[in-house]
Amino acid sequence: MNTKNLPQHVDELSEKYGSIFTIYLGSERVVVLYGYEIVKEALVGLGEEFSGRGSMPLFEKMAQEPGIVFSNGEQWKQLCRFAITSLRNFGMGKKSIEERIQEETHFLVERLRNTHGRPFDPTLFLTHAVSNVICAIIFGDRFDYE
């Protein structure tokens, strides 16, 4: 597997095997859904079936508590409720916060357009966008993606 350019490698695998295929990350079997339509079908059409997270023994070993990112089921629901309540205390749902999120969304969309349809890893883009929303809420300012 070409780990230096994983998005390109996954693109090549999808051309060979189709929009649903299996790869192994170490000993972990991972099913890949590749393409907008198949991901939309899975997450929207079959949302309940795809709502859980797989187990990640490495992260489970490193973290005593899985937190909102790696938890599942009832624990995830409780953590999510807590996070939403906390965000509301910071002004989430109020017009000024929503405007900041929409503003950052425009920057994110522009950044995504600049990929010109090439495969890419969205992790950094999404991390920057979320960080900018948090900075806008707390500090009143955002940072450029570069």
E-strand ranges in the chain read 20-25, 28-33
Residues 44, 3 within the same domain: yes
Residues 42, 61 within the same domain: no
Domain count, the chain: 3
Residues 39, 74 within the same domain: no
pLDDT at 111: 92
Q: How far is CA 77 from the centre of its chain?
A: 17
Residues 78, 101 within the same domain: no
Structure tokens at 146: 């570069």
Each of the 146 residues of the chain gets a pLDDT tens digit; together they read: 666 788 888 899 999 999 999 998 888 788 899 999 999 998 888 877 777 766 666 666 666 676 777 777 788 788 888 888 887 777 766 667 888 889 999 999 999 999 888 888 888 899 999 999 888 877 888 888 77
- Answer whether residue 146 is part of any domain: no
Cα angle, residue 50 at apex, residues 108 and 119 outer, rounded to 5°: 40
Q: Are 29 and 22 in contact (CB under 8 A)?
A: yes
Residues 1, 34 within the same domain: yes
Q: Are 87 and 68 in contact (CB under 8 A)?
A: no
Residues 65, 46 within the same domain: no
pTM over 0.75: no
Structural domain of residue 42, as residue ranges?
A: 1-51
Please give the full DSSP string across 49-70, using - where no structure is assigned.
TT-S----HHHHHH-SS-HHHH
Residues 29, 61 within the same domain: no
- Answer whether residue 28 is part of any domain: yes
Residues 44, 1 within the same domain: yes
pLDDT at 130: 92
pLDDT at 18: 95
Q: 């999808």: which residue's tokens?
A: 14
Residues 41, 72 within the same domain: no
Residues 98, 137 within the same domain: yes
Residues 46, 76 within the same domain: no
